[in-house]
Structure formats: structure tokens, C-alpha cells
Chain A
Amino acid sequence: QVQLQESGPGLVKPSQTLSLTCTVSGGSISSGSYYWSWIRQPAGKGLEWIGRIYTSGSTNYNPSLKSRVTISVDTSKNQFSLKLSSVTAADTAVYYCASSPLRYAFDIWGQGTMVTVSS
């Protein structure tokens, strides 16, 4: 059973780039056909889809974040990553990574990691 684990800095300064990594265990990120996604949730608020990357490497992004988001895969480390540039306090949230076997749903979730944007 695939498991996901997010990692990265818990505190990022305004205007800097938020960088998070999701490590995949229990399976290979490059085997089969999967979507690998990032989703975030500000405290006390709802979920917001950030974007996804396919096993092939192609990406889809939330139009409202597209100019600031990059999602990439590192098959050698069995990881996929999120970079969000020019962050502000509005980007403070719990960030989740998730995966699904080529369907429009999020089957498996990481436990989430809290990122605070503050100077």
C-alpha cells in the first residue's frame, strides 16, 4: 500500500519560495499510471487544489496559482515536489500531498504539513 509523507520548512518569509517534498513509500512513483497532487487547507477553512503531475511528467495547475506554482518529480528519490513562489500570509496553510490511479479523485493522502508565512 502506497504511503505519502510531506516534508519541508514550517516557516517561510514573505516574498520567498515555499518548497515541499512528498516521499512515496510502498511503491514506485514511476510505475503504473498515477496522478500526484498537492492540496492545501488554511486553518479552519476548506480544501484548495493546487495542482498535479502525471507519471509521464505533464502537469496541471490551479489557474489562480499557476503563475507561482511548479510541481516536479524526482524518480531517483521516489519523490515529487511543490514550489510556490512569492508567498504571502495568504499562503499559510496545511499542505497535503495526495495520489490517485488516473482518476479524478484523491485516494491516498499524506498526513499534511503546516507552513506558516511570516517574517
Chain B
Amino acid sequence: QSALTQPRSVSGSPGQSVTISCTGTSSDVGGYNYVSWYQQHPGKAPKLMIYDVSKRPSGVPDRFSGSKSGNTASLTISGLQAEDEADYYCCSYAGSYTFDVFGGGTKLTVL
């Protein structure tokens, strides 16, 4: 069982927007602004899409955005494209004992 809870799957049509949630506790997501999101295509290494809740690394399209409210972080992908179909994982810093915890992952299907 993962420390952070994500929906197992979400789907959307090209051009639409989808939001993936990541629910933790006040000891991780709610306690720090250190949530990151990763995209993983089959057989590939994960790719950083969002860090520090809402910051995008250079090269990541602005269709990807992150936010947080209380103990739940969210990744929103707008203007869905076929290449966005992948698994998405959230991760949060959880203090100086547990350090980093991941969510169980969400499979995004572009219909």
C-alpha cells in the first residue's frame, strides 16, 4: 500500500482536460510544498513534470500544471494529446524520518 493515494486510472479525449489527484496527510502533502509529479511511458524511466507543487522544469509544456489544497495535490493536463497517455506518479517529501513517499500511480488513457 502506497503512502499517497492516487486514482488507478483516468481518461479523457484529445483536447480535453483531466485532473489526477494525490491524497496524503498533514505529515507529507499537507505539511510541505514539495510535491512532484512524474510521467512514465511503458518501458521508460519516469520524467519529472512538476516540482514544488506547481513549478515546471524547462521543456515541460505549460499544458501541465500542479496545485495543492490541504492534504491533496493535483496534476491537471489541459489540451490532452495522444502522447500524454502514460502512468503518472506523485511524490511528496514527508519530513526528516520518512523523507520521500510516492503515490501508487495513475494510468491516463487518451480515448
Contact = CB atoms under 8 A, between A and B. Distances in A.
A93 B53 CA distance: 28
A60, A63, A106: residue with the most chain B Cβ atoms closer than 10 Å: A106
Interface residues of B, number: 25
Interface string A47-58: 111011000000
Interface string B1-16: 0100000000000000
A107 B32 CA distance: 19
Most chain B beta-carbon neighbours within 10 Å: one of A46, A47, A48, A107: A47
B69 interface: no
Interface string B75-98: 000000000000001010100111
Contacts of B91: 47, 49, 105-106
Interface string B38-80: 1000000111100110000100000000000000000000000
Contacts of B47: 109
B45 A47 contact: no
Secondary structure at chain A's binding surface: helix, strand, loop or mixed?
A: loop
Contact of B57 (A60, A104, A107, A112): A107
A109 B46 contact: yes
A63 B99 CA distance: 9
A51 B47 CA distance: 18
A105 B53 CA distance: 10
Given A104-B93, A105-B36, A46 B99 contact: no
B101 A105 contact: no
Interface of A: 46-49, 51-52, 60-63, 96, 103-107, 109-112
20 contacts: A46-B102, A46-B105, A47-B46, A49-B91, A49-B101, A49-B102, A62-B98, A62-B99, A62-B100, A96-B46, A103-B51, A105-B34, A105-B51, A105-B52, A105-B91, A106-B38, A106-B91, A107-B48, A109-B47, A112-B45
- The 7 A-B pairs at the shortest CB distance, nearest first, are namely A105-B51, A104-B34, A105-B36, A109-B45, A104-B93, A49-B100, A47-B102
